Structure 1
Amino acid sequence: MSALRRFAVGSLGLAIIGALVPGSAVSAPPPEPVTNLQLATKALQGMTLEDKIGQMFVLFAYGPDASKPDARNTALYGVATPAEVVAKYKPGGWIYFNARDNVTSPTQLATYSNQLQAAALKTGLHLPLTIATDQEQGVVVRIGPPATQFGGNMAHGATRDTKDARTAAGITGRELKAMGIRQDYAPVADVNVNALNPVIGVRSFSSDPKLVSDMTVAQVRGYQEDAGIMATAKHFPGHGDTVDDSHNALPTINHTRAQWDAIDAPSFKAAIKAGIDSIMTAHIVVPSLDPSGDPATLSKPILTGVLRGELGFKGLVITDALEMAAVRAKYGDAEVAVRAIEAGADQLLLPPAPDVQFKAVVDAVKSGRISERQVNESVLRVLLMKLKNGVLFQPYVDPAKIATKVGTPASLATAQKIVDKSVTLVKNDAKALPLTKDPRKILVTGWGVTTTQSLANSLTKRGATTTVAQTGAAPTDAAIADAVSKAQANDVTVVLTQKAWDTKVVDPGAKQQKLVKDLLATGKTVIVVAVRDPYDIAYFTAAPTYLATYGYAAVSMESLAKVLYGEIAPTGKLPVDIPVAGDPATPLYKFGHGLSW
């Protein structure tokens, strides 16, 4: 039995031992006057140093089943199964990734969550995990359909509707909770003021600090108050003005302190005022906040001085993934782990050298470099969040109920109505839109195997004869020629672009720009749609018809089809400025622009 449970039983005589057995009845949390703080403090007293350090780690494992061996786990952890990883480290948290073979379906995830919790409760510590994932919606999701999909943050920003943003977070949070996930690493609170930002973009609500703040608060309330899971505002102190991707390089944000106060800080202040449970750090250098050159994740002036001291944040501070290149650029992995805790982080996410980093933190505490008092404070926050989100007393979920809780007809219909409001008509110079109901042949080309087909399916439902010619992010000359040939044989071409402005990696954006320009040269009706960042129009200004959807899931393509055919009027307004190509200070289309009929 865990120290928390021993205390609850000893103090209040609650029969909660049954919660340790999968499928057994679970008692309610102990009533007042015993507080969560008292429970957590008592639990802390019964933990070894190694137990405490384990609670400061958030791990993952490869594969969709906790009992299934995977050689990749052996290489990383020295043990083969996810259950063995839990037993070895007794981590405080866990994270799911679709790209690491964790996700096959919501029902599978619910079963997997139960397996992991059973493994956690079999350790000597007997503490359930806080299982998390990045379900930001839009372009960053770990769990696809049949889970309910939304348009994402910038799509919400285009609607200006905070009520809908809260509703979306509530639905997402309740579905995650049904799968055993008690923490979402969302919402993104970054203010995307740089059109060339390669890593944030549409993950941000807007370039306007007030709009980002309002939307962030709405989603915090949706996740925490409506769904009862932990929200995580990210990426502090603000990742919205960078031209480098922190997965691959160490970005520097050159905002003055006054600029940071005006642009980056408001959304995090608003989240803190709204009671945000957790804040994730950014692997970025901000010289105006800390001139040392250390990334914020490793910066005591930023995490302890600004976030804790100036902003008064009392909740859980978790690092962004420590496997990312930006945080590993300056120090070795062992030193990174120690410095992150010294800076003020409570939990270390995705350590790339777990044995080395675990030992480094233990040794740092034993040597006095990190005080055990600081460790205790961090672990206390971890335990308090387990109590708050209910995982301590109800660690298990019912996979049999997934169909009644995840991707329900009501949730899907609500999502469609919300996304319908986001499509933004930026240009309609040729008055090509809305399309009439007359039969016509439509070519759907451009980026996205699934996305082009989803749009074609939606157009076919409306009587069009569709052809799909998917060209990818960096179309070859042959693919471009094929699309042009097909365009000449169709009445209308809809070309989907995805970050066509980005020419940094193998010049993919330039190839998309060529595709659009060659299609326009056919003289046929061409409708250009940016299905990710809205900034693409700056690179082919001759396009007479241009829309932005801010996302490329099927729900966004259905909304696009409705707009194309005039079933709904476009009501989305740009939540950012679209600058002139090569001139970021001059807007081509201003914040708030959006046409309709």
Structure 2
Amino acid sequence: MLNILNNKVFGWVSWNELKRKLLEMKPTPKKYFLLILLCILLISVAKAADPPFAVFKNDPWVNEKMDQLSIDEKIAQLMMITAYPKQNEASKAAVLDKIRKFKPGGVLVMQGTPVKTASWINQFQAFSETPLLIAIDGEWGPAMRTDSTIQYPYAQSLGAVQDTALIYQMGLEFGEQLKLLGIQMNFAPVADINTTPSNPVINFRSFGEDKQNVAEKTWMVSKGMQDAGVIPVAKHFPGHGDTKTDSHVTLPLVPHSKGRLDSIESYPFRYLSEKGISGIMTAHLSVPALDSSGKTSSLSKKIVTGYLKEEIGYRGFIVTDAIGMKGVRSDPGRAEVEALIAGNDMVEFVPDIEKAISAVKDAISKGEITEAAIEEKCRKILALKRWTRLQEYRAAELKDLTKKLNSPFFEVTQRKLIKASLTVLANQRVLPVQNLEKEKIASVSLGSSSKSAFQTMLDNYTQIDHFVLSKNATEKEWAQLRSKLSNYSLVIAAIEGIHRYPAGNYGVSSIQQKAVEDLTAEKRSVFVFFGNAYALKHFSNIHHAKGLILAYQGTDLTRELAAQLVFGAFDANGKLPVTVDTRFRVNDGMTVKGNSTFSYTIPEEAGMSSEKLALIDTIAQMGIDEKAYPGCQVLVAKDGNVVYHKCFGYFTYNEAQPVEKNSVYDWASLTKVTGPLPALMKLVDEKKFNVDDKLSKYWPDFIGSNKENLVIRDVLAHQAQLRPYISYWMNTVDKEGNLDTHVFRHEPSEEFNIRVSDKLYMNPNYLTEMMDTIRNSKLLPRKRYTYSGLSFFLFPSIIEHLARQPYEAYTKDTFYKPLGAYTITYNAYQHFPMRQIVPTENDDLFRKEMVCGFVHDEGAAMMNGISGNAGLFGTTNDLAKLFQMYLQKGYFGGRRYISEETVDDFTRTQFPENRNRRGLGFDKPLIDNNKKDLLDAYPAVSAGKSSFGHGGFTGTFAWADPQTGVLFVFMSNRVHPSRENNRLYQLNIRTEMHQAIYNSILP
């Protein structure tokens, strides 16, 4: 039977066609039988469903209203006028006057702010005796007509989305937002199948050219709105997708046969009719195959009644496209009459409602349309109003309206849709970009005059040099930039400034074409195309690029998410919804798996509350006000999603340099778990290091000393009886407080070549004295937890010996560079401008200068700035990458750095029986921490037992919780100007912030 349907009938078949086929066939019993079966099958498949409002046609409220309305008022119910809330009070007064005089059935609201739009609607409803149907053109949400609201992606973008549940959710949110504004009807979605790339009016507004994709997406948007209690109106019947002119300015021709129209153009509308969509809009088109008279489709009884209502069987609400468009040419009022005669229930955008009502009454008197037909249409309009609960209408609440319309939960859907739409059209083993230590990367914005949101987001992933080339750049400017790019192994190029419509080649400039052509031919390049998919045809060799991502739109959010996709923050699953040319065909699109790098999003997408998380802002500012620090920076991530990253205050109390995300901090003791510790874990995996060995095995100088039998597990868990700290520099001070000139000088020389600070240099021979001091130091009397940094002075040399590579180079090559954490380094003054480095203490005892760019810890400073106990600098974001790698059990950005087993061992509490909370190097929550109150807890009370982290003396802190996926990073320079400042601890700032994070997790 299905084979008969496929072979004998192309698309949907009318009963007239079935009869014709029956008459044409030879009267054999077999063929009669097959056609009878076909009829039965079509009846079962193509039966239209009743729209949800149909049950209210005989509702008591509807009946009561029908009895109350005069014939003029019933006609007026079939008219929808227009209002522009962006205009002045005189414009509003004119609309109110029309409502008072003519009692229209509805108002179409156009441009305006949310509050002004809702306010006008409230006044319209208050003025109307019968509640008004308020409508809007909201194809990408209220934002299409109302500013300051969430703009969802265009339909072309959504056509690429494979998860239709997201489309449904968007439709549901359309409905929720429109109801907040007091709007009951949305003239959306577009159900046209765009089969003409040069279509000047539909184009990107269509879900694409695949009829099933268009039909399903259109229905999911519609169902979402209907489930929210808002009337969807699919447009533009019988199909505006294959037209070369704009019905706003002329009457477009649809030249296809009836068979083609059945199979393609009308397919989505038939599908929607089956599903029970509430509304369909008729277009102003010339469709000779359906009506050879030349009458526009919206005014054609053959098309509206004969085709839509009788043949397709649609039983819902039918409304015209704007009756004032140039595609409808008629005397005032006459178009409205013909629209109603044709079978439309309502006429939209009526320019002169007085003449329209008069013309309809005149048509009734002439017998062109019956009063019964008007009554039936009016009853349908009232049933729609009843279904939307207009009989108990409540004015829209204006307070916090804009905030509600921009709920972060709406933004979550917006983000998910954009991510799901991104379409990879080329990938020669370059996406996602990883192995970052091997790359020298440049980004180019082709079509921008300044650094874009795309490029700013790229900065989060690794070190990238950015360039721009404007759309009007000269050949010389491109040649100069081209020369600069020759030094890079990878170029990530954004193609910007692409227009939505075909005119002027979508705005593509010749220099953009030249740049893309050259980069594709000469460089290993990844292109991200921000614009209408059809515009790809203007780039002749872009299909040969190593990587190509189609992003469809040029919003900043799209740019940010596309940048994240480049580095693997999430999967790419989008499929091209249209055919561009022979290179890029409908349904093309490669699946690219994410690689567990960071994603940057909003709290709600990770299951957290923005509002509750905002308590961190208050706590951070309190710390500044109370002078706990001059400035700070906070990063929060959950499940690999960075959901909060903010900067507060300044570098110093003179408020000259504000804290910024790229500010570089002295990490102090965080170095212990970010410098030697990852290296030791790696060496454990390689069987080169064993934490259950004696430390003297790797540091032979301890043989014969009181430290010969110290076990590394005890050492890393801080219960090896080692002294907490040794002030090496103080051993060089004479009775007058002067530094020993045999050890320190204020000028460098061949003999004094270890730079301790900006103006202090040390004799390297003193390093031997420092190691001897550690060797000869006394052990503490008992084996219990006592924090000690002494062993961490030794680990860099141990690592260097085992790895057979200089310690700093090993950590950078093995961890920091592959992670994209390029700012992590020792001796920051050698790598960053001083204005980027946050100063620490004004040291008036040892170095007698402001310390900035040099490690604050005196012992580490005497180790030439490179030590295991302190010395690392870096940004907050880069520290987070390293800790996220720990949180993901040694995996990040497509690479395994450390085995899960080793991470688990290092991050577990080693000796709880000794009341020792520590892991191996890592700090852990207090024993019974969850039973303490917030003031006594460490870290937050809600931190899981498996959580781990570390703090730094300068005011730094990082903590990861595998149970909740939460990562908390806090950066400050609380030691500025003096280490005597303990307000950070006294105010319990970090613990309060940490707990606020847990409190923000949604149930």
State which of 118, 121, 141 in structure 2 corresponds to 1:113: 121
- CA change 1:233–1:487 in 2 (3 A) is farther
Tell me: CA distance 1:540–1:138, structure 2 relative to 1, closer, same or farther (3 Å).
Answer: farther
Match of 2:893 in 1: none
Q: Deviations over 1:31-77 (max 9, x none)?
A: xx997444323322321222122211111123347x8114xx7xxxx
Question: For 1:291, what is the secondary structure of its paired residue?
Answer: coil
Q: Which amino acid counterpart does residue 213 of structure 1 have in structure 2?
A: A
Unaligned ranges ≥5, structure 1: 1-32, 74-79, 121-125, 472-476, 580-586
Shift of 1:174: 0.4
How far off its partner does 1:533 sit?
2.8
Aligned to 1:85: 98
Could you tell me which residue of structure 2 aligns to residue 498 of structure 1? 498
Please report how far the alpha carbon of residue 497 of structure 1 lies from its aligned counterpart in structure 2 after TM superposition. Answer: 5.2
Q: CA deviation at 1:366?
A: 3.5
State the Cα distance separating 1:392 from its structure 2 match.
2.2
Q: CA shift at 1:445, angstroms?
A: 4.0
Instruction: Give the equivalent residue in structure 2 for 1:208.
Output: 210
Identical positions, percent = 28
Q: For residue 425 of structure 1, what is the aligned residue in structure 2?
A: 424
Match runs of 1:132-151 below 5 Å: 132-137=135-140, 141-145=144-148, 147-151=149-153
| Distance in 1 (alpha carbons) for counterparts of 2:577 and 2:584 | 11
Cα-to-partner distance string for 1:190-238 (whole Å, 9 max, x where unaligned): 112222222112222221111222222212210001x111111111111
In 1, the alpha carbon distance for the partners of 2:501 and 2:344 equals 36
Aligned CA distance change for structure 1 residues 403 and 501 (closer, same or farther; 3 Å): closer
- CA shift in 2, pair 1:357/1:446, >3 Å: farther
Task: Please point out which of 130, 133, 136 is paired with 2:133.
Answer: 130
SS at match of 2:327: helix
How far, CA to CA, are the matches of 2:482 and 2:366 in structure 1?
70
Q: Kindly tell me: are residues 287 and 482 of structure 1, through their superposed partners in 2, closer, same or farther at Cα, counting changes over 3 Å?
A: farther
Distance 1:309 1:37, change over 3 A: farther
Q: Is the 8 A contact 1:574 1:592 kept in 2?
A: yes
- In structure 2, what is the equivalent of residue 474 of structure 1? none
> Which residue of structure 1 aligns with residue 158 of structure 2?
156
Number of aligned positions between the proteins: 524
Does 2:545 correspond to 1:550?
A: no
CA deviation string 1:231-265 (max 9, x = no partner)? 11111111111111211221111221111111122
Provide Cα deviations, 1:123-176, integer angstroms capped at 9, x if missing partner.
Answer: xxx11111111111189822344x333223232221222111101110121011
> Which whole-Å deviations, capped at 9, do the CAs of 1:402-437 have from their partners, x for residues lacking one?
367422122212321232111012234694863886
Would you say the 8 A contact 1:59–1:94 is kept in 2? Answer: yes
Structure with larger RCO (C-alpha < 8 A, sep 6+): 1
Compared CA separation, residues 404 and 498, structure 1 to 2 (3 A): closer
Equivalent-residue separation in structure 2 for 1:485 and 1:339 (angstroms): 64
Aligned equivalents of 1:486 and 1:254: distance in 2? 49
CA distance in 2 between partners of 1:211 and 1:131 (Å): 30
- Match status 1:568 vs 2:570: yes
- SS at 1:318's partner residue? strand
- Given residue 167 of structure 1, which amino acid in structure 2 is its aligned partner? Q
Q: What is the rounded CA distance, in whole Å, between the counterparts of 1:433 and 1:198 in structure 2?
A: 36
Paired with 1:461 and 1:567, the residues of 2 have a C-alpha distance of 11
The separation in 1 between residues aligned to 2:182 and 2:479, in whole angstroms, is 48
* Residue-by-residue CA offset, 1:425-463 (whole Å, 9 max, x unaligned): 22346948638867865443438x99x955455446657
Query: Structure 2-normalised TM-score?
Result: 0.49
**Which deviates the most, 89-98 or 149-158?**
149-158
Distance 1:414 1:467 in 2: 32
Match of 1:301 in 2: 302
Distance in 2 between the 1:546 and 1:362 partners? 60
1:57 aligns with 2:65: no
Distance in 2 separating the partners of 1:573 and 1:553: 20
Q: Which amino acid aligns with 1:206?
A: G
Whether the aligned pair in 2 keeps the contact of 1:455 and 1:557 (CA below 8 Å) is yes
Matches of 2:85 and 2:328, distance apart in 1: 26
Distance 1:588 1:57, change over 3 A: same
Q: Superposed, which structure 2 residues align to 1:123-522 within 5 Å?
A: 126-137=129-140, 141-145=144-148, 147-225=149-227, 227-328=228-329, 331-400=330-399, 402=401, 405-428=404-427, 431=430, 434=433, 442-446=443-447, 453-456=452-455, 458-459=457-458, 471=471, 492-496=492-496, 498-499=498-499, 502=502, 505=503, 507-509=504-506, 512-520=508-516
Residue 185 of structure 1 deviates from its aligned partner by 1.1
For residue 528 of structure 1, report the CA deviation from its aligned partner.
4.8
Please tell me whether the aligned partners of residues 500 and 513 of structure 1 are also in contact (alpha carbons under 8 angstroms): no
Q: Is the 8 A contact 1:308 1:314 kept in 2?
A: yes
| Residue 296 to residue 35, structure 1, CA distance change in 2 (3 Å) | closer
- Residues 468-508 of structure 1: per-residue CA shift (max 9 Å, x gap): 6665xxxxx56898778667667654122535882xx4x35
CA contact (8 A) 2:253 2:285 kept: yes
Residue in structure 2 matched with residue 69 of structure 1 by the alignment: 90
Structure 1 window deviating more from structure 2 (33-42 vs 315-324): it is 33-42
- Equivalent of 2:70 in 37, 48, 52: 48
Contact 1:128-1:395 within 8 A present in 2 as well? no
Q: Distance in 1 between matches of 2:56 and 2:253?
A: 47
From 584, 587, 593, the counterpart of 1:589: 584
Query: How big is each residue's C-alpha offset from its partner over 1:551-597, in whole Å with a ceiling of 9 and x where there is no partner?
Result: 34343333222223332232211122222xxxxxxx33222211244
CA contact (8 A) 2:250 2:326 kept: yes
Where does residue 16 of structure 1 map in the other structure? none
- Aligned residue for 2:247, secondary structure, equals coil
**CA contact 2:106–2:135 (8 Å) conserved in 1:** yes
Compared CA separation, residues 480 and 571, structure 1 to 2 (3 A): farther
The answer to whether the Cα contact below 8 Å between 2:431 and 2:568 also exists between their aligned partners in 1 is no
CA contact (8 A) 2:85 2:109 kept: no
CA distance in 1, matches of 2:189, 2:303: 20
Q: For residues 34 and 69 of structure 1, do their structure 2 counterparts lie closer, same or farther at Cα, with a shift above 3 Å needed? A: closer
Instruction: State the TM-score, normalizing by the size of structure 1.
Output: 0.79
CA distance in 1, matches of 2:534, 2:138: 24
| Matched-pair contact (CA < 8 Å) for 1:298–1:340 | yes
SS of aligned partner of 2:390: coil
Contact 1:137 1:150 in 2 (8 A): yes
Q: Highest CA radius of gyration, 1 or 2?
A: 2
- The amino acid across from 1:191 in the alignment is I
Greater CA deviation, 396-405 or 267-276? 396-405
2:495–2:530: 8 Å Cα contact kept in structure 1? Answer: no
SS in 2 for 1:399: coil
Provide the alpha-carbon RMSD of the alignment: 3.2
User: Does the 8 Å contact 1:56/1:91 carry over to 2?
Assistant: yes
Contact 2:565 2:572 in 1 (8 A): yes
CA positional deviation for 1:305: 0.6
Instruction: State the AA in 2 paired with 1:82.
Output: V
CA contact (8 A) 2:131 2:393 kept: no
Residue of structure 2 equivalent to 1:123: none
State the match for 2:859 in structure 1. Answer: none
CA distance in 2, matches of 1:445, 1:85: 51
**Alpha carbons 1:318, 1:349 under 8 Å: kept:** yes
